[in-house]
């Protein structure tokens, strides 16, 4: 196939827009230079509406997992109790980090592909009244589930004084996130998903209530110490040399989001989700999650008895499109389509076409053309685009 | 002055070469894609000669300080004894991290601007026979001192079984570094100095002896867990999404280093150091360090009674060149010239000229033209270039 032309449609890293690439290629500046201070200040403030943050967002130079770890080491210490809602591989990662730091862990495991109902969390919290923090996953990347974090946060707030900590890595920037309004104490995300950047930056919005816990928490931390980031952000800088080129890119990304309009960005992602799901169903395949639990950023599709998702992905690669496989026990059993960030509805039609072609070729029970038709109809009916 | 034209000559971040900028703008790829595996594998192996590493170098997505912290949390645990040689702000940073993690700290403080003599370390180690690890700084960025880490490492090895841990952030890639041959157990460095990249990647070379300690060390760590990086590197990947765009850039940097030749890179840095130092002296100013203790990557210059380095830097900024000031107690007392990475001897002449012009303008006792003449003579006498 045409060399160097391929469509990256995995749930992150996502494609980087050309103007963001260009912005990142600006001449390097010193990290203590006034130009860099303006850059840090601008990025941390303009991210506030994206996360729904009360105060400027803390920018860490590291990938998403470090922000999960930061949320842990800043808030809980060994022996304290914490609850984790595990709906897939990234809820499980929170659990792994907590366990590594000897936090007394209460795991609420749900079947992979399902979202956590607020009632289930409520019962669970009643059984564990001692928890100091509840760790949630907004979009569970491994299954394409969007957990109802607004309701889950409200449930926690109603029943306990525990902090509400949310991993928003694979959806913030593509779906509404209102950390302060929803009572989320820490919301973290990363650069390489809906924010259309390469990996290397992660972000945290921290509530006043969380700061009170953080200030008293004896758990040692240095590079991931939120207080160091807040103290330096007050002087428009970072405690350690930041990934300046990614900050140049972030400023451009924020321009793009503001030009399109945050609400429109969300609508575009919802349309891409609907087109993907209706297309997949109409061609004869089955999404892993229900419509109600589905994330606007990633869709997982189940494999069948007569065909393997890995064979499908291999064939898709030949056609010029790269999708993701399953993680942990879903490895070989699903494939995942990322539809977040620098993607538009036409990309979805191309992806669905490719899946139809590859599906027929590998002998999957796929009805060629039917998926595209259903997806087009979703778009035709959509009044916003 | 001409807009957007400025010379960044601080001791990091350093300018990014145009071909590296272009390499970083390649279309994004998935972090679990075979293309990314090849990239990770290639970078980690081609870095081996740069660090003198026995095995492929671990690539972390984070800035230099996180690599210092990783060296701490992977090797020592609370209550254990460690020695730190503090020759400036970055030795002090090692001490701060160790203290944060409740390691029993023995600080060997030297006057800022001096290197640590091996005999001084030897006496110090004899007083503290219980230390499990000795933390050293190769180039102390805050003073422009290059510590004799080969001799210091040999001293440690001769006297104790302690691990030798070296911060090479502001010089590796510009000066010889032979981790294995010199008996350095952990050598860390960062992307934004001699390696000519933006900040966002850091690297660690780990010895077999260090792995044995690391494997048994109970200190919890997750994102900075060296074992996770080694285990994944065996499968040509990273445990967490890496900063892929910086890895694209790193591959290009390694091409550049190999094309110039590592030995030539070192010679170029030595010439730039000599030109800088002789120029500074000839124009009537005083380097902070002796010739013997000087680093080929950064030169600190003392302020005078009649003029302030901060005024000089302000004037230099107007002329189109950005130098660094002092850190901690040297703030306002020195200025620092970075001469590492994407700089050539002509850049040094431009910097010296600018310092002469700015110096005369602010009333510093500077002999205009004399610095340039001395620097040119260094170059004329240099047989390699």
b/e B109-133 (16+ beta carbons within 10 angstroms → b)? ebebbbbbbbebbeebbeebeebbb
Distance, CA of B260 to CA of B266 (rounded, Å):
10
In DSSP notation, B64-123 reads HHHHHHHHHHHH--TT-EEEEEESSHHHHHHHHHHHHTT-EEEEEE--TT-PPPHHHHHH
Q: What is the pLDDT of residue B3?
A: 80
- Are A241 and B66 in contact (CB < 8 Å)? no
Query: How many CB atoms are closer than 10 A to CB B157?
Result: 17
pLDDT bucket at B1, cuts 50 / 70 / 90: confident
| Chain A residues whose beta carbon lies within 8 Å of the beta carbon of residue B199 | 31, 61, 241-244
A243 with B244: Cβ contact below 8 A: no
Average pLDDT, chain B: 97
Mutate which: A72, A222, A331, vs B, most B CBs within 10 A:
A222
A1 pLDDT exceeds 90? no
pLDDT at residue B277 greater than cutoff 80: yes
Residue in A closest to B323 by C-alpha: A30
- Whole-number pLDDT of residue A181: 98
Closest to B71 measured CA to CA, from B39, B43, B41, B103: B103
Banded pLDDT at B374 (limits 50, 70, 90): very high
Which letter does DSSP use for residue B173 in this model?
A: T
So what's the pLDDT on residue B4? 81
**pLDDT value of residue B112:** 98
pLDDT at A76: 98
Q: Is B14–A28 a contact, with Cβ atoms under 8 angstroms apart? A: yes
User: In terms of DSSP H, where are the helices of A101-141?
Assistant: 118-127
Domain at A18-258: CATH code:
3.40.640.10
Whether B243 has its CB under 8 Å from any CB of chain A: the answer is yes
> What was the ipTM of the complex prediction?
0.97
Q: Where in chain B is the domain with CATH 3.90.1150.10?
A: 7-13+262-381
A21 touching B (Cβ < 8 Å): yes
**CB pair distance less than 8 Å for B63 and A220:** no
Structure tokens that stand for B95 in this block = 């001490």
**Overall average pLDDT of the A218-229 stretch:** 98
State whether residue A111 sits within 8 Å of chain B by CB.
no
Q: Write phi, then psi, for B88 (nearest 5 degrees).
A: 170, -160
- Cβ B198–A243 below 8 Å, yes or no? yes
Position A251 scores a pLDDT of: 98
Are the Cβ atoms of A24 and B64 closer than 8 angstroms?
no
* Cβ within 8 Å of residue A56, ≥6 positions away: A41, A44, A45, A47, A48, A233
How many Cβ atoms are within 10 Å of B343's Cβ, its own excluded?
A: 25
Residues of B in contact with A244 (CB under 8 A): 13, 198-199
B360 contacts B366 by C-beta, under 8 angstroms: yes
CB contact under 8 A, A14 and B21: no
CB contact under 8 A, A8 and B30: yes
Is A317 within 8 Å of chain B by CB?
A: no
Average pLDDT over residues B131-148: 98
Q: Does A247 touch chain B (CB under 8 A)?
A: no
Choose from A9, A24, A27, A78 for mutation: most chain B CBs within 10 A: A27
Q: Can you tell me the mean pLDDT for B150-175? A: 98
Each residue of A232-279: pLDDT tens digit?
999 999 999 999 999 999 999 999 999 999 999 999 999 999 999 999
CA distance A63 to A85: 22
Task: For domain A7-13+262-381, give its CATH number from 3.40.640.10, 3.40.50.10490, 3.90.1150.10, 3.40.50.2300.
Answer: 3.90.1150.10
Residue contact B245–A200, C-beta within 8 A = yes
CB within 8 Å: B30 and A13: yes
How many contacts does A have with B, using Cβ atoms within 8 A?
Answer: 159
pLDDT at residue A4 in the model: 81
Number of CB atoms found within 10 A of residue A212's CB: 12
| Residue A24 with chain B: CB contacts under 8 Å | 24-25, 245
Partner residues linked to B105 by β-bridges = B82
Token pair, residue A155, equals 């449930």
pLDDT at B2 over 90: no
Reading the block at residue A179, the tokens are 């950390």
Residues A59-94 pLDDT 10s: 999 999 999 999 999 999 999 999 999 999 999 999
Tens of pLDDT, residue by residue over A11-53, are 999 999 999 999 999 999 999 999 999 999 999 999 999 999 9
Region A196-200: what's the mean pLDDT?
98
> Cβ B224–A223 below 8 Å, yes or no?
yes
Q: Give contacts of B4 with chain A, Cβ < 8 Å.
A: 27
Helices (H) then strands (E): counts for chain A: 15, 14
| Contact check, Cβ <8 Å, B66/A69 | no
Q: For B229-261, what is each residue's pLDDT tens digit? A: 999 999 999 999 999 999 999 999 999 999 999
Residues tagged in the binding site annotation of A for substrate: 336
Contact A8 B16 (CB under 8 A): no
A140/B contact by beta carbon, under 8 A: no
Please check whether residue A203 is in contact with residue A58, taking contact to mean a CB–CB distance below 8 angstroms: yes
B30 in contact with A, Cβ within 8 Å: yes
Question: Looking at the complex, does the CB of residue B220 fall below 8 Å from at least one CB of chain A?
Answer: yes
Q: Which residue of A has its CA nearest to B4?
A: A27
Mean pLDDT of A162-189: 98
Q: What angle do CA B159, B163, B169 make, to 5 degrees?
A: 120
Ranges of CATH 3.40.640.10 domains, chain A = 18-258
Residue B329 has pLDDT above 90, yes or no: yes
Q: How far is CA B257 from the centre of its chain?
A: 16
B6 neighbors B320 (Cβ within 8 angstroms): yes
Taking the Cβ of residue A219 and every Cβ of chain B, the question of whether any pair is shorter than 8 Å is answered with: no
Tokens describing residue B133: 């690890």
What percentage of chain B exceeds 70 in pLDDT? 100
Share of residues in chain A with pLDDT > 90 (%): 98
Q: Is any Cβ of chain A less than 8 angstroms from the Cβ of B79?
A: no
Cβ-Cβ contacts under 8 Å, A14 against chain B: 28
Residues from chain B that touch A194, judged by Cβ atoms under 8 A, are none
């Amino acid at each position: 196939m045409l060399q160097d032309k391929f469509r990256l449609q995995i749930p992150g890293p996502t494609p980087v827009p050309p103007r963001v690439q260009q912005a990142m290629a600006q001449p390097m500046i010193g990290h203590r230079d006034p130009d860099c201070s303006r850059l840090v200040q601008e990025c941390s403030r303009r991210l506030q509406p994206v996360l729904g943050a009360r105060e400027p967002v803390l920018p860490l130079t590291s990938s998403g997992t470090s922000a999960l770890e930061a949320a842990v080491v800043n808030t809980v210490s060994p022996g304290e109790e914490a609850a984790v809602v595990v709906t897939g591989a990234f809820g499980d990662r929170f659990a792994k980090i907590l366990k590594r730091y000897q936090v007394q862990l209460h795991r609420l495991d749900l079947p992979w592909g399902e979202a956590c109902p607020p009632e289930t969390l409520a019962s669970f919290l009643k059984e564990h009244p001692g928890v100091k923090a509840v760790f949630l996953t907004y979009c569970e990347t491994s299954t394409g589930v969007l957990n109802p974090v607004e309701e889950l946060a409200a449930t926690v707030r109603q029943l306990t004084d525990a902090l509400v900590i949310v991993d928003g890595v694979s959806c913030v920037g593509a779906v509404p996130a209102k950390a302060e309004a929803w009572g989320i104490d820490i919301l973290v995300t990363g650069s390489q998903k809906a924010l259309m950047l390469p990996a290397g930056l992660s972000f945290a919005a921290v509530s006043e209530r969380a700061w009170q816990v953080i200030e008293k928490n004896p758990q040692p931390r240095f590079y991931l110490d939120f207080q160091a980031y807040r103290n330096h952000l007050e002087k428009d800088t970072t405690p350690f040399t930041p990934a300046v080129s990614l900050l140049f890119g972030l400023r451009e990304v924020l321009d793009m989001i503001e030009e399109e309009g945050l609400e429109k960005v969300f609508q575009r992602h919802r349309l891409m989700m609907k087109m993907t799901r209706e297309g997949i169903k109409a061609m004869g395949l089955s999404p892993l999650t229900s419509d109600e639990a589905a994330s606007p950023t990633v869709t997982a599709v189940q494999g069948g008895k007569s065909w393997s998702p890995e064979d499908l992905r291999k064939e898709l690669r030949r056609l010029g499109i790269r999708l993701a496989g399953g993680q942990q026990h879903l490895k070989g059993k699903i494939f995942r389509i990322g539809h977040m960030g620098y993607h538009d509805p036409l990309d979805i039609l191309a992806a669905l076409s490719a899946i139809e072609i590859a599906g027929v070729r590998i002998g999957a029970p796929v009805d060629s053309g039917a998926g595209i038709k259903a997806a087009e109809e979703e778009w035709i009916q959509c009044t916003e685009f």
